[in-house]
Amino acid sequence: MSAIVEVEGLTKRYHKRASKEVVTAADGISFRVDEGEILGLLGPNGAGKTTTIKMICSLLKPDAGRVLVRGIDTQRHRLRALRHLSAVLEGNRNLYWRLSVRENMLYLAGNRGVSARVARPKIDALLGRFGLSDKADELVNNLSRGMQQKLALAVAMLAETDVVLLDEPTLGLDVGTGLEVRELLRDVAAEGRTVIISTHDMAVVQELCKRTVIISAGRVVADERVSNLLALFATRGYRVSLGAPLSAEQERRLAHTFAVFAYGEPELVLNVTLEHPEDIYRLMEILRLERTPVEDLGRTQVDFERVFLELTREETGRI
């Protein structure tokens, strides 16, 4: 498959006026997105997701690096490249608050050079699909946060671009609306569009994305299929029940050998995360030092949240 979006070495520094402090929000971010793929751009608050999305859609000029959409450089041929992109940014900045729902959609269609006659039936269909038909004449200002978010998605759909960028599409939504928005996103993806979703919502990544690029402090710390990440971590977490307490020497060696381990008395349970599957033998050697009885040995359950936390912890920010 060929890449439809190529992000190469994107770097952005902000200069804070008051403190004169320089914040490196993106520090050489690179990744590629294949046609028809839904990519999750995941990271904690302040990781640089919004900055990256804004650079991809050319709202923000990078200090270094470039973005190609269908091979077209977004800085050198901005308009040509942007024809392939639509974006839903944080805080619904794409909507006109003093226009009605339908007027917003007609306005966007006009901007894209589509006549009202051609746009109207598409708009009606989208409003129906997004559950907004009975709000068609309501001012955006009067809509709930969830309705506004759905409208912003509908507006992005109307543009019928190959690539859709979504910045935190479920942020601030109640549980029910979040679920509804995830369903709508699944539909959008099924249409074969390429979608980049920035989020710190694990449910979005786990349910919608085959692949995720995880960023932390402006850098890519993982670029993997979601299933691979889960499998990788599943084979690395072990829980060992011991028949006797560990000696101080054993504890010291464990701390020296494994970046992530936890040991509790009086339960005598040891949890370790292995860097490599063969490290299980090193674990066994340490236990053998005192002939510590092993009563039970099993894999730790992994969920995506744990994978994410481990990857974005600075000291183990690598796999």
Interaxial angle between packed helices 304-312 and 226-234, expressed in degrees from 0 to 180 and rounded to the nearest 10: 90
Is residue 199 a contact partner of residue 293, using CB atoms and an 8 Å limit?
A: no
In the complex, least distance from residue 202 CB atom to ligand ADP, rounded to whole angstroms:
15
d(CA 1, CA 33): 10
Q: What residues from 15 to 54 belong to the interface with Mg ion (CB under 5 A)?
A: 49-50
DSSP for 116-150, please give it. HHHHHHHHHHHHHHTT-GGGTTSBGGGS-HHHHHH
Contact assessment for residue 44 and residue 312, using Cβ atoms and an 8 Å cutoff: yes
Q: Considering the rule CB under 6 A, would residue 40 count as an interface residue with ligand ADP?
A: no
Q: Shortest gap between Cβ of 22 and ligand ADP (angstroms)?
A: 9
Q: How many residues does the chain have?
A: 319
Task: Tell the smallest beta-carbon distance from residue 48 to ligand ADP (Å).
Answer: 4
Closest distance of CB 222 from ligand ADP, Å: 15
Q: Which does 48 bind (CB under 5 to 8 A by kind): ligand ADP, Mg ion, none?
A: ligand ADP
Residue 23 binds which of Mg ion, ligand ADP, none (CB < 5-8 A, kind-dependent): ligand ADP
210 backbone dihedrals φ, ψ, rounded to 5°: -80, -35
Per partner kind, with CB cut-offs from 5 to 8 A, the member of ligand ADP, Mg ion, none near residue 178 is: none
Phi and psi based region of residue 265 (left: phi greater than 0; alpha: psi -120 to 50; beta: remaining): beta
Q: Which of 31, 49, 161, 238 binds ligand ADP (CB under 6 A)?
A: 49
Q: Output 19 or 111, the one with its CB closest to ligand ADP.
A: 19
Q: How many CB atoms lie within 10 A of CB 308?
A: 23
What gap in Å lies between CA 249 and CA 244, rounded to an integer? 14
CB nearer ligand ADP, residue 52 or residue 250: 52
- Residue among 54 and 135 whose Cβ is closer to ligand ADP: 54
Binding partner at 16 among ligand ADP, Mg ion, none, C-beta below 5 to 8 Å by kind? ligand ADP
Distance in Å, CB of 26 to ligand ADP, minimum: 7
Q: Which two tokens stand for residue 17?
A: 């006026």
Q: Is 85 exposed, middle or buried (0-12, 13-18, 19+ CB in 10 A)?
A: buried
Q: Which stretch binds ligand ADP (CB under 6 A): 45-53, 92-100, 225-233, 295-303?
A: 45-53
Instruction: Restricting to residues 49-78, name those near Mg ion by CB under 5 A.
Output: 49-50
Comparison of 69 and 215: residue with beta carbon closer to Mg ion: 215
Long-range (24+ apart) CB contacts under 8 A made by 72-81 are: none
Measured from the CB atom, the residue of 47 and 109 that comes closer to ligand ADP is 47
Residues that bind Mg ion (CB under 5 A): 49-50
Residues that bind ligand ADP (CB under 6 A): 14, 16, 23, 25, 43, 45-51
